[in-house]
Structures are given as C-alpha cells and as structure tokens.
Amino acid sequence: MPTFVYMTRCDGCGHCVDICPSDIMHIDTTTRRAYNIEPNMCWECYSCVKACPHNAIDVRGYADFAPLGHSVRVIRDEEKGVIAWRIKFRNGKKDMNLLAPITTKPWGTAIPQLADESAPSKDMVDSQLLYNEPKYVRMDDGGLHTLESNGLKLKEGVYY
C-alpha cells in the first residue's frame, strides 16, 4: 500500500522525507512537494502519514492485489498520547473508528540519564548484571538466574 501525497495539502516541509525508514519520500524539484519515489520499496508503515503536519499523505493499497475505494486514515497526537484510526471499506458497509494510547507518560520525561547515575561498583562490573539489575528482573531482591541456581548443566549431544 504505497503512499501518495495530495497536491493541495503538501507544502514541501519535508517531515516525511526526514522520517521515512525506506528513504523513498523525496521532494519533487519541479513542484517542490513530496512524493513517493519508489512505491515497491514502501512497507505501508505509515511513519510519513503520521509525521505529516497537514495530513497530506495517504495510502492507496498496492496495485497488484488491493482494489480501489478504501481508506485507512490516522491522526497521532503525542501531547494527548493517543492515536486515532478510521477504516472505511470499499463497499461502504464498514466504517470503524479505533483509538489507542501510545504512551502513559509525558513524552521523554521518564527515561533516566545514565550519565547522572552513580558509577557501577567493581563487583557489579565483574558480575553478569546489567543496569538496574537484579532489581528490575523480578522487582524484588532475588538474584540473577545461573545454571547453578536453577540446577542445570550444558551438555553436548541429543537431550530432549
């Protein structure tokens, strides 16, 4: 389902160019607006659709298997932390609105700056533990699993 861009809505801002994981949203040098330069490398991931500030980008199902006349539109709102979808069928019989959360915290506020954490002790460096472990594995005081703690051995051969 490759993307396409509506001529009257696009102002050539380049948000889609900046975000596209496949590097296929480019600015046309004549119209100064964005377009999909390589539809057969488009994954219909909607990254550009979500990023467009003017809702100028839409998707038309792949020509080799998707008939015309459908619509799947989306608005992603980082401030409200939600994403809203609307799906319309070709025959008009189904028209769905679906809403989902995208985050539970104000954007970017809940992630620690590890440079500010106290440095790991030598014991920790020499152990198998990662940052915030063992606490974060089980959310209690239990240690990390080892072969010994779990009564296990690694043995060559066919053992099932």
Instruction: Point out the residues that are catalytic.
Output: 43
103-132 residues near another protein, rule: CB under 8 A? 103-105, 107-108, 110-115, 117, 119-120, 125, 128, 130-132
- The correct pick among 30, 79, 93, 141 for binding another protein (CB under 8 A) is 93
Minimum distance from residue 96 beta carbon to another protein (Å)? 7
> Which single residue is written with the structure tokens 């051995």?
153
- What lies within 8 Å, CB to CB, of 30 at 6+ separation is none
Side-chain half-sphere exposure of 44, counting CA atoms within 13 A: 11
List 59's β-bridge partners, or say none. 3
* Alpha-carbon span 2 to 95, nearest angstrom: 21
Nearer residue to another protein within complex by CB, 9 or 17: 17
In the structure encoding, which two tokens stand for residue 49, read together? 């659709």
> Is residue 47 within the footprint of another protein (CB under 8 A)?
yes
Amino acid at 108: G
- The correct pick among 6, 31, 32, 96 for binding another protein (CB under 8 A) is 96
Nearer residue to another protein within complex by CB, 7 or 96: 96
Minimum distance from residue 11 beta carbon to another protein (Å)? 20
